[in-house]
Structure 1
């Protein structure tokens, strides 16, 4: 498994690794990294950090070109097959788009399971081995995760009553959100990131389930007036690479790539936390009203949690012992941390 391999690989010193990379035979390996989102999105910033840290360790032994904004023609839903088949060597993928491949990928977007960044990190730690196994079984290596900030509702009105959800034509980003919003009486439509603005512009949808950072990236204030903080879920992006391509790398490059994973996770959670206040400030500057969760009546949360509970039950039925074990481990980690 990826993260146990990292343990003994750390024995190589930075000096020894860098001297090894001076040999011409190790230079000029080139990869592409696909990302449906852009360089200014959190997934892009996470990718930039990863590539910068990797370059510090390996120099030009491996050059990975970040292909953001869907430059290679792939959306997140396409990444699993594209990397598995070697069409692209690496990708950063919103894994909640991969539930059709394995329902376990829907874990991070289960509504109201992890309600803080700290809990989202513990959930990632609890599930990491299972995620890594899925990728490994399909010819890939899992590296790091980038959490989305907590999802809220961008809409023409604040979501401060149950009635505000009724028949709301809201964009969702995966099956969990679609089912939850449908259970809550809304009219959800699952829409890819790249198709979101056209849907808003043409009236196909009138609300968006996404984070404040997502709202800022797309200037959603041009289309809706309100953002209601829900702390609904923090879906994960994951960086994964083709295993054959990874195994073909010099051992020193493999080791360096694995060694920087903890630093990538730490950086990614830090920028996620920082992004929340920054996005709220930008949204407010552009006239968007922010309704914090403390100002949302408890009955709204109770209603949404009841709608989401059915989704959790369905997920557990699909994932069986795997899902139950990970949620139990998550509860143990929370108890220890608390």
Structure 2
């Protein structure tokens, strides 16, 4: 027969085990997929986002990041989050422009040609995207802007004639239309396929950001970066809606707050790293120049035409987003 002391000791042990078990049960582990390298400022922002979530939830939500396409290719991430194969991921919005015109809007030349305009456009688009993603079982937690774009070429670009006939890799339907209008032979290719495309002669030029050029070491295949600005497309951090709603309310709030901080930080990181990235291109032997005025004029003309086409085919709800954005400029 146990003594009172032995019974008390047993009860304390049982309570201790229950606390430990409860703590383990409360911890949730998520997997996150991203298509970009750890040196990419967007990936670094995601790492800060994950640290913020960990701190705010006191370790109750752990997010394991698989970057640089090591878990899955960028274009497969949205579907994987929808299917809950991974609970959270980063996508490039322009990749889905064939599904809804809103994905395409930020990719039209000079619709949002600087960071302040890109921020206002993001705010105008947010309610539309909230509904769009909710309807496919997803939730957007954060947005990140790409730096201004430019042309990576083997030879110097002095005018429009220098672009004609070059095989250009681009990343969306909007940039394909733009490239073709400039005289390129534009082809949409995933980020991961760029080095192989250069090696096989499928492409000989790029239209993309300094960040992407650094990620794929563009200096191995091109000699010039001609900065155009013109476009600030966005990536989004998305989460499976069911997985999100299964979390305690406090954890949901922590994720939303961390996402808002990541959006604001992403804009600042994109701004501050742009000049540094141009320096990296130069350090690796590339010549960096601004796009000639002749090409700027043509890009603005193309942008105006593409925006008119966008409006002609957009839904009334989508048109309202553009009108709201333009009214706030």
Check whether TM > 0.5: yes
State whether residues 28 and 63 of structure 1, in contact with CA within 8 Å, keep that contact through their aligned partners in structure 2.
yes
Q: Distance in 1 between matches of 2:307 and 2:200?
A: 33
Gaps of 5+ in 2: 1-20
Residue 40 (structure 2) aligns with: 41
CA distance in 2, matches of 1:317, 1:30: 45
Q: Do structure 1's residue 329 and structure 2's residue 328 form an aligned pair? A: no
Q: How far 1:102 sits from its partner (Å)?
A: 2.0
Residue in structure 2 matched with residue 18 of structure 1 by the alignment: none
Residue equivalent to 1:69:
68
Structure 1: 5+ residue stretches without partners: 1-21
Q: 1:87 to 1:312 in 2, by over 3 A?
A: same
Partner of 2:33, secondary structure, is: strand
Distance 1:87 1:319 in 2: 32
Q: TM-score, normalised by structure 1?
A: 0.87
Aligned residue number for residue 213 of structure 1: 211
| More displaced 10-residue stretch of structure 1: 304-313 or 79-88 | 304-313
**Alignment partners' CA distance in 2, 1:142 and 1:318:** 25
* Offset at residue 105 of structure 1 (A): 0.9
2:153 aligns with 155
Residue 303 (structure 1) aligns with: 298
Report deviation, 1:25. Answer: 5.9
**Contact residue 43 and residue 92 of structure 1 kept, 8 A:** no
Which residue in 2 is equivalent to 1:319?
Answer: 314
Aligned residue in 1 for 2:117: 119
Structure 1 counterpart SS, 2:59: helix
Q: CA deviation at 1:323?
A: 2.7
Matches within 5 A, 1:84-103: 84-103=82-101
SS for the counterpart of 1:260 is helix
Which residue is equivalent to 1:243? 241
Which residue of structure 2 lines up, in the alignment, with residue 53 of structure 1? 52
Q: Distance in 1 between matches of 2:183 and 2:124?
A: 32
State the secondary structure of the residue aligned to 2:288.
strand
Q: How does 1:215-230 map to 2 (within 5 A)?
A: 215-230=213-228
* Structure (1 or 2) with the larger CA radius of gyration: 2
1:30 paired residue number: 29
Q: CA deviation at 1:70?
A: 1.2
Cα-to-partner distance string for 1:238-264 (whole Å, 9 max, x where unaligned): 011001000111111001111223311
How far did residue 165 of structure 1 move? 1.6
Residue among 193, 202, 205 paired with 1:204 = 202
1:53 Cα deviation (Å)?
A: 0.9
Q: Distance in 1 between matches of 2:144 and 2:197?
A: 26
Residues 37 and 215 in structure 2, CA contact (< 8 A), matched pair in contact too = no
Is the contact made by 1:153 and 1:230 (CA closer than 8 Å) also made in structure 2?
yes
How far 1:332 sits from its partner (Å)?
2.3
SS at match of 1:273: helix
> What SS does the aligned partner of 2:106 have?
helix
Per-residue CA deviation, residues 99-121 of structure 1 (Å, 9 max, x unaligned), is: 12322111221111111111111
Cα offset, 1:138, TM superposition: 1.0
Count of aligned pairs: 309
CA RMSD of aligned residues (A): 1.6
Report what 1:8 is aligned to.
none
Equivalent in 97, 121, 133 of residue 135 of structure 1? 133
Equivalence for 2:17: none
The CA distance in 1 between the partners of 2:270 and 2:133, in whole Å, is 24
